């Protein structure tokens, strides 16, 4: 079951796959206020039902682990660093964890990092335009996930340091304004 808490902000290029739990839990309701949707789904029928309701027409499966990089720890670490770079997408990002575990970090309304540790049966939907990042856990270094898409996957990560504000980002910011 998902763990949600504020990140301790003590991550470095060498330890960002560690838990970084500040000890301050975040209620799931707080994720909802920033447009993040979480659900525990224990069977394929329920996943398919949600996909139909939300009009997700495409999906694929991704396996991330050290073996996928021919046990090359340097190549694996470079990919994790790439995923961990703060970015947003112009489409929703939907992940259903089949096996393994990983961390999704999202920015709250005050620009603090909220970390979600996802494990098997956890589904997370990030709205278009939200700043986020992802990494596998240091302990397991493995996740098998289903990725869902409304249309054909277009996977441009718009890095925060690029300063690009697309319509998706502008609409997201308006949607969470107080």
How far apart CA 62 and CA 97 sit, in angstroms, is 10
Is position 167 annotated in a ligand binding site? no
* Residue 73 DSSP symbol: H
132 is an annotated ligand-binding site residue: yes
Please check if 20 is assigned to a binding site: no
Kindly report the CA angle at 144 between 138 and 150, in degrees rounded to 5? 125
Q: How far is CA 12 from the centre of its chain?
A: 19
Judge whether 83 and 155 are in contact, CB under 8 Å: no
Q: Please report, for residues 70, 75, 89, 93, the alpha-carbon distance to residue 63 in angstroms, rounded to integers and kept in the order given.
A: 13, 15, 21, 16
Which of 27, 35, 54 lies closest to 174 in space, CA to CA? 35
Q: How far apart (Å, rounded) are the C-alpha atoms in residues 172 and 90?
A: 10
Annotated binding site: 87, 89, 93, 132
Annotated binding site for Ni(2+): 87, 89, 93, 132
Annotated binding site for Fe(2+): 87, 89, 93, 132
């Amino acid at each position: 079951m998902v763990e949600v808490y504020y990140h301790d902000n003590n991550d470095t290029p060498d330890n960002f796959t560690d838990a970084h739990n500040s000890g301050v839990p975040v209620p799931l309701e707080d994720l909802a206020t920033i447009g993040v949707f979480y659900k525990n789904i224990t069977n394929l029928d329920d996943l398919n039902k949600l996909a139909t309701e939300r009009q997700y027409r495409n999906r694929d499966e991704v396996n991330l682990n050290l073996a996928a990089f021919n046990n090359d720890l340097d190549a694996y670490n470079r990919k994790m660093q790439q995923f961990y770079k703060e970015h947003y997408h112009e489409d929703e990002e939907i992940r259903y964890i089949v096996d393994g575990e990983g961390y999704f970090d999202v920015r709250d309304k005050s620009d603090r990092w909220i970390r979600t540790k996802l494990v098997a049966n956890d589904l997370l939907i990030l709205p278009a335009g939200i700043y986020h990042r992802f990494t596998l856990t240091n302990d397991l270094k493995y996740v098998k996930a289903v990725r869902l898409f409304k249309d054909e996957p277009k996977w441009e990560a718009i890095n925060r340091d690029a300063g690009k504000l697309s319509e998706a980002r502008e609409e997201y910011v308006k949607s969470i304004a107080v």
